[in-house]
Amino acid sequence: MQGKVEICGVNTAKLPVLKNEETIALMKKARAGDQKARDELISGNLRLVLSVIQRFQGRGESADDLFQVGCIGLIKAVDNFDFVNHNVMFSTYGVPMITGEIRRFLRDNSAVRVSRSIRDVAYKVLVTKERLQAETQREPKPEEIAEALGISRAEVVTAMDAVAEPVSLYEPVYADSGDAVLGIDQIGDENASSDVWLRQIAFEEAMAGLSEREKRILALRFFDGKTQMEVAKEIGISQAQVSRLEKSAVDRIKSSI
């Protein structure tokens, strides 16, 4: 049938969609011990899993694996969502839970190994971040996460940096006023070939073609380490606009190198 896409044997074209009021009604039954209602809740929100795994395409993992891991996050969300005290839609709570589960899976399967103690701290940071984000409906600052966990801001940042996904050496670390510093510029290599210099020239030409707003966004994001929400607030635009402008600028830079 046209439009049919199967993941883990599930025809995604036929997945049901629950309205919020239907979700709450099923949630009440599930809390009362109705297993059928719980199953309906899970199947009725599988589209949330599909929407999340699209963000992780191209990471070297199969869609089936990501879908299965995302379903674990969905089940946790279904079992832990406090529909009485959480004044948010289930999707607002469920998406961060699904995302967190997939990120943990990708970290655990990463070739880069991090010490167990740092991973434990990073796990607590992610869980706390997801909880605060669900409660406040915004991305929490490192200071807020640190306060909630009773640790320092430096510990939060260090733990998150340690489990962050590797980035290309040709990603901009700093870019402003036409000058650019790449990740590779921070690595000394006396035997560097002319290819590096050619890439540097291509990068500078690509940077020259960016608008002042795009340059500022890249500078704030890659040099100052600000989140997209923080950049949006500083510049005075929405987080979605920041995300779009950042992706567009980085894609143009990559295509020029």
Model confidence at 257: pLDDT above 50: yes
Q: State the residue range of the domain holding 251.
A: 172-256
The DSSP element (H or E) to which 10 belongs, if any, is strand 10-11
Report the predicted TM-score, pTM, of the whole model to 2 decimal places. 0.43
Q: Which residues of 68-90 are buried (b: 16+ CB within 10 A; e: fewer)?
A: ebbbbbbbebbeebebeeeebeb
d(CA 73, CA 90): 13
Same domain, 126 and 201: no
Same domain, 188 and 221: yes
What are φ and ψ of residue 173, in 5° steps?
Answer: -90, -35
Same domain, 252 and 180: yes
For residue 130, give every residue at least 6 positions away whose Cβ sits within 8 Å of its Cβ, in sequence order, or none.
96, 97, 99, 100
pLDDT tens figures, 154-211? 888 877 776 665 544 444 544 444 444 455 444 444 444 445 444 555 556 667 778 8
DSSP string, 53-101: HGGGTTSS--HHHHHHHHHHHHHHHHHH--TTT--S-HHHHHHHHHHHH
pLDDT tens figures, 77-98? 888 888 777 667 888 888 888 8
Collapsing DSSP to helix, strand or coil, 218 comes out as: helix
Domain boundary among 164, 182, 203: 164
Same domain, 1 and 104: yes
Domain boundary among 67, 88, 109: 109
Supply the CATH number for residue 38's domain.
1.20.120.1810
Sign of CA dihedral 83, 85, 87, 92: negative
Collapsing DSSP to helix, strand or coil, 182 comes out as: strand
For residue 104, give every residue at least 6 positions away whose Cβ sits within 8 Å of its Cβ, in sequence order, or none.
123, 126
Model confidence at 251: pLDDT above 70: yes
User: What angle (nearest 5°) sits at the alpha carbon of residue 107, between those of residues 172 and 112?
Assistant: 70
pLDDT band for position 254 (cuts 50, 70, 90): confident
Shortest CA distance to 154 belongs to which of 195, 179, 121? Answer: 121
Model confidence at 3: pLDDT above 70: no
Same domain, 75 and 2: yes
Least confident range from 32-36, 70-74, 107-111: namely 107-111
Same domain, 120 and 46: no
Same domain, 191 and 155: no
Model confidence at 107: pLDDT above 50: yes
Same domain, 73 and 158: no
Mean pLDDT of the 228-236 span: 87
Task: Indicate the number of domains in the chain.
Answer: 3
Same domain, 128 and 210: no
Look up residue 181 and give its two tokens.
């510093």
pLDDT band for position 147 (cuts 50, 70, 90): very high
d(CA 86, CA 257): 47
Model confidence at 225: pLDDT above 70: yes
Residue 164: per-residue pLDDT: 61
Domain boundary among 94, 109, 124: 109
Same domain, 143 and 45: no
Shortest CA distance to 16 belongs to which of 47, 54, 37? Answer: 47
Same domain, 81 and 18: yes
Supply the CATH number for residue 130's domain.
1.10.10.10
Count of residues making up the chain: 257
Same domain, 181 and 239: yes
Which is more confident, 243 or 17? 243
pLDDT tens figures, 23-57? 888 988 988 888 998 988 888 888 888 888 888 77
